[in-house]
Structure 1
Amino acid sequence: MHDIRPLIPLLVTAGILIGGNGLQGTFVSLRALEEGFSASVIGVIGTGYFLGFVIGCVYVTKIMRAIGHIRTFSALAAIASAASIAMALVIDPFSWFLMRLVQGICFAGLFAVVESWLNARVTNATRARTLSVYRFVDLGAVTMAQYLIPLVGLSGFDLFAIISMILTLSLVPISFADRSSPAPPEDVKFDVKVLWSISPLATIGCIVIGLTNSSFRSLGPIYADGIGMSVTAIATFMSIGIFAGIVLQYPLGHYSDKLDRRVIILVATFGAAASSAYLAFFAGDGELANFIGIFAFGAFALPLYSLCSAHANDHAAPGQHALVSAGTLFFWSLGAVIGPLFASFLIDLFGPHALFVYIIVVLGTFMIYTLFRITIREGVPVEERRMRFRSLLRTSFFFSKLATPPAKRDDR
C-alpha cells in the first residue's frame, strides 16, 4: 500500500469527478422532465455534453502543453462548477444545452489531466494495483452518487449546488498531490483515415457503442420515469446498468484473447441486443423485470468498447497505439453526439420503450456488419497480437496508456 500512497490524491480526485459526472448526467435528465422539457429536448441537451466532450478530446493536450496540468485542472474545474450553478439560475433548454456543452469540454479535460498525471507517476510495480483501485473508485462513485437524487430530491437549487460543490472539492485532493507537475504530454493527433485503415470494424463499433450506450446513459432515466418508476427506483435502475458492466468484462476479454475477437464482439453485441429486446417487448412496467433486463444489457453492452479497442490494437503497427487510443475515444464521442438526439425523438413519437427498440436496430445492423468483416478479412493469430485485452474507461485516451505496461508500449 505504501507504494501507491502518493497516488491517492489523484485517485480521490478521479472518484470525485466520476461521481459528480455520473450524478449530473442522471439528474439533468430527470430535472428536465420535471421542468416540462420533452424527451427530444432532453436528447438535444445530452448531445451538448457529448459534443463538448469531442471538442475537449481534440484540444485538451494543447491546453496542458500551454499552461501545465494543475492550471488546466483548476480552470476547467472552476468553469464546470460555474456551469452547474448557471443551470439552476437559468432554466431554459438552450441555456442548458450550452452549459452541458461547456461541461463536456471541461470533463474531457479534467479526466485527461488526472489520467495523464497518473501515467507520469505510476510505476510498473504499482500499475495493476492502481488500475484495480481506479475501477473500484469508478464503480463505487457512480453507484453511490445516483442515490443523492432521491436523498436530496429533484426540485429546487440543492442538487445543482451539491454538484457545484463536488466539482469545486475535486481541487482539494489534487492540490495535495506531488508538488512537481508532470511534463506536458505529447500532442495526440486524431487521424480518422488512419484508424479506419487499421480497423474499419473497430471504427464502426466505437460509433455504434456511442450511439447506443450514450443513449442509455442520457435517456435511461427518461425510460425508467416513463414506465412509472420512483426516483429511488430510477437511481437503482441506472446503477444496476452501470455496475453490470464489470460482470462480463473479464470473461469476455479472456476469451477474446484466445479466439477471434470479432466472434466475441459478435457474442457481446447479440447479448446486448437480446437484452434490449427483453426490455422493449417483455419486461413491461415491472421494476424487477426491468432491473434484470438492464443488468443483462449492461453486462454485454459496456465491455464492447474495450473489445473494439483491443481489436483495433491487434491490427495496429508499432507506433500507432496512441493514435488508436485517441481515435477510438473520438469515434465513440461522435456516436454519442448523435445517439441521444435520435433516440429522444423516437421516445417522443412512440413512448419510452422506443429507446430499446432503437438500440436493437443499431446493434442488429452492427452484427450484420461484423459478420461481413469476418468473411472478408482474416483474424489476427493469437501469437501475433501485440496487446492483450484491457478493460478501458471512456474518460480520456490517457486511461488506455495507464492500462498498458511500459514494457509493452511502442508508441511513446
Structure 2
Amino acid sequence: MLKVLAQSWPLLLGVMLLMVGNGVQGSLLGIRGGLEGFSTFELSVIMSSYFVGFLGGSRLTPGLIRRVGHVRVFSAMGSLISAVLVLYPLVVDVWAWSGFRLLIGFCFSGIYVTAESWLNNTATNETRGQTLSAYMIVQMIGIIASQGLLAQGDPSGFALFIIPSVLVSLAFMPVLLADTPAPTFDETRGMSFRRLFIVSPLGCVGMLLTGGVYAAMFGMASVWGAMRGLTIGQIAAFGAALYVGGLVLQYPVGWLSDRMDRRMLILWLSAAGAVLMAASAAVTLPFTLVLGVALLLGGIINPLYSLLIATTNDHLTKDQMPAASSGLIFLNGFGAIFGPLVAGWLMQRVGPAGYFLLLAILFALLAGYAAWRLSRRRSPKAQGRYSGLSPTASSLAVEAVLDKE
C-alpha cells in the first residue's frame, strides 16, 4: 500500500479534494433550496438533474478524451465546475439550479473517467487491486469530510458555495502537475441490453433498482433532514453516516460473498433494507437511532452495487466483462435519474416518511426478484472474487477490478 501511495498520491489527493467539494454542494443545495422557498418536488428535480448529467458524461466523455486528450478534458471540466458552484447563490431559480446540477453531474462523471484511467495506467498487475482500494477509500473520506465542513458553515451565506469551488480548483494542481504520463484511452465494444439481460436478469434489474435507491438516498438526504426539522449539524451527521456505513460493511459483505451464493446474499440484504426502511417510515425515530439507520442503509446499498456486478460477471467470460460493465453502469445511472423525482413526489404528499417509503419499496422489489431468480437458475459452479466498488465508479474502475482477477 505504501508503494501505491508513493506512486499515486497526487491523483488520490486530487480525487479526495474533488469529493469534498462535490459532497458539500450536494448536501448544501437541499438545505439552501428549502431556505429559498423551493418545494420538495422542485428540489427533487434539481437533485435528479445531477444524475442526468452524470449519465450523459459517462457516455460522451470517452469520445472527448480520444479527440482532445485527458489533460484538456480534465482542465475544461474542472474549470466549468468551479464556475458553476459560485453561480448557485447568484441565480436563485429552480430551472437554473437544475441546469447547473446537470452540468456539474456531466463534468464530475468526466472527471471520474479521466482520473480512473490515469490511476489504472499508473498501476501494475501487482498493485492494481490496492490502487483501486485506495481510490475508493479516499472517495469515501472526501465525502465524509465534506459533511464535517457543511456542519461548520452557514447555508444561508456564500462561503459554503465558494469553498467547494476553491477545493475543486485546487484538486487539479496535484493531478495536472503529476509526472505520470496521460494514458491512452481504448474504446470498449458494447453489449446489447437484450444480450445482457439474457446473461444476468438479476444484474440488470438489480442495477436499475439500486440506482434509484442510491440517488434517492444521497440526493434527497438533506431535503429529508430539513423536512424532519434536523439541525445543520444533524443533517451533516446523517449524510456522513451513510458513507461510513458503506465503508465499514464492504469487507464483511465481500467476505460472505466469496463463500455463498451471491444471489442469496442479495436477497438477504435487500430484504433487510426493506424491513429497515419500512420501520423507519412507520415510526418517527429519535436522532440517535436515525444515525444507526443511516449506517445500516449505507452499509447495504454500497455492497449491493458490487454484488450485482460480481454476480453478473460470474456468468461471463473475461473478455465479455468490460462490455457488460458498461451496460450495467448505464442501467444504474438511468435508475438514478428517477430515484430523487419519485422520492420528492412521495415526500410532498406524505411528508418525510416518503423518503424511507420509496427506499422500502425499491428494496422489496429487488428482494422479490432475487427470490424469483433463485428458483429459475442454479448457482454458477465457480464465482469470481468480490471487489468493493462505489456506485459513482465508471466502467474503467470496473475494468481495473477485472484485470486483477
TM-score category (smaller protein): over 0.9
User: What is the aligned partner in structure 2 of residue 355 from structure 1?
Assistant: 355
1:397 pairs, out of 395, 398, 405, with 395
Q: How does 1:133-144 map to 2 (within 5 A)?
A: 133-144=134-145
Instruction: Verify the 8 A CA contact 1:58 1:190 in the aligned structure 2.
Output: no
Alignment of 1:228-377 (within 5 A): 228-282=229-283, 284-377=284-377
The corresponding residue for 1:67 is 68
Identical columns (%):
31
The alignment partner of 2:258 has SS state of: helix
Question: Matches of 1:57 and 1:190 in 2, distance apart?
Answer: 16
Matching residue of 1:125: 126
Matched, 1:380 2:377: no
**Residues of 2 paired with 1:231 and 1:188: CA distance?**
46
Contact 1:40 1:344 in 2 (8 A): yes
Which residue identity lines up with residue 332 of structure 1 in the other structure? N
3-state SS of paired residue (1:87)? coil
Are the counterparts in 2 of residues 61 and 187 from structure 1 also a CA contact under 8 Å?
no
1:194 Cα deviation from its structure 2 partner? 2.8
Partner of 1:102: 103
Offset at residue 183 of structure 1 (A):
1.5
2:182 & 2:136 partners in 1: Cα distance?
24
User: What letter corresponds to residue 164 of structure 2 in structure 1?
Assistant: I
**Is the contact made by 2:4 and 2:131 (CA closer than 8 Å) also made in structure 1?**
no
Query: Are the equivalent residues in 2 in contact too, given 1:190–1:330 (CA < 8 A)?
Result: no
**Over residues 144-184 of structure 1, what are the superposed CA-to-partner deviations in whole Å (9 max), with x where a residue is unaligned?**
11121221210122111111111111210112212522112
The match for 1:37 is 38
Q: Structure 2 matches for 1:153-232, cutoff 5 A? A: 153-187=154-188, 189=190, 191-232=192-233
| Of 254-263 and 58-67, the range deviating more from structure 2 | 254-263
Q: 1:285 Cα deviation (Å)?
A: 4.6
CA displacement 1:197-216 (0-9 Å, x = unmatched): 22111111011111112101
Moved more, 345-354 or 124-133: 124-133
After superposing the two structures, state which structure 1 stretch, 59-68 or 153-162, moved more. Answer: 153-162
* RMSD over equivalenced CA pairs, Å: 1.6
> 4+ residue runs of structure 1 moved beyond 6 angstroms?
none
* Deviations, residues 275-316 of structure 1 (Å, cap 9, x unaligned): 21232123x151111111111222222211000000110111
User: How far, CA to CA, are the matches of 1:154 and 1:188 in structure 2?
Assistant: 45
Residue 126 of structure 1 and its aligned partner are, at CA, apart by 2.3
CA distance in structure 1 between the partners assigned to 2:157 and 2:397 by the alignment:
36
Conserved 8 A contact 1:84-1:160: yes
Q: CA deviation at 1:217?
A: 0.4
Instruction: Give how far 1:4 is off.
Output: 4.0
